[in-house]
Amino acid sequence: MKRTSVAAALSALALGALLLAKEPAPPKKDKGGWKKLFDGKTMGGWKVADFFGKGKAHVQDGAIVLEEGKQMTGITYVRGDFPTMDYEVTLEGKRIAGDDFFCTTTFPVGDSFCSFVVGGWGGKTVGLSSIDFEDASRNETNKSKEFKTGQWYRLRIRVTKKKIEAWIDREKMVDLGLADRNVSIRVECSRCKPFGIATWQTTGAVRDVRVRALSEAEKKGPGEKIDTRK
């Protein structure tokens, strides 16, 4: 083999090793079945959602900071391994500045998608968008909750064929049966599909994003006894 060929082969091997070193390892499940989707250090597995006038998204102090945009700033999970049914996802979010939603989460429901709005419509609205074509400000999942700037809140969303449930900290905010219901998202959140998190004219942060498959018993029963802090 000519020297030039050997040199080219070595260069290719070195480049391949460098690229592999830069790519974060795929997430692994822990003993509880939870799989981390964010490693607290890089944006590996995520992309910045392509919203018009979006702010920057970057990692700072173990969280992904979503800076205020003209309207929405968001991130989308892109590894392609997010479940579509019979799962539970959890994350922590906080409002850093602004007065609207700071960690609205879009997630799959079978072949469709839905968004859990957290602090929308002026800062207090919580609920699902959309149910039977009505958004969180108008459908039966609508609730009002005060959110303190700078405080972390734990979100948990559980999706089964029978219902969507959602909690903020230990307070159950959504318990919606899905029989004969139309589940969809507002068009603004479509760039967060299949799973993503967004803010509206607000700076927010998210961390400790995890997902797990439900057991057969959990698919049939209530989810109040699951402690996501473990």
pLDDT tens digits, one per residue of 8-28: 544 554 444 444 444 555 556
**pTM, to two decimals:** 0.85
Question: Tokens representing 219?
Answer: 């698919």
C-alpha–C-alpha distance, residues 217 and 88, integer Å = 14
Residue 230's pLDDT is: 38
Q: Is the dihedral of CA 220, 167, 108, 164 positive or negative?
A: positive
Q: Do 214 and 86 touch, CB atoms closer than 8 A?
A: yes
pLDDT, tens digit (0-9, with 9 covering 90-100), for 164-221: 999 999 999 999 999 999 999 999 999 999 999 999 999 999 999 999 999 999 987 6
pLDDT, tens digit (0-9, with 9 covering 90-100), for 69-119: 999 999 999 999 999 999 999 999 999 999 999 999 999 999 999 999 999
pLDDT, tens digit (0-9, with 9 covering 90-100), for 69-82: 999 999 999 999 99
Task: Quote the Cα angle for 138-142-147, to 5°.
Answer: 125
Residue keyed to tokens 């579509």: 84
From edge to edge, which strands make up the β-sheet containing 46-48?
46-48, 72-77, 196-200, 104-109, 112-120, 125-129, 143-144
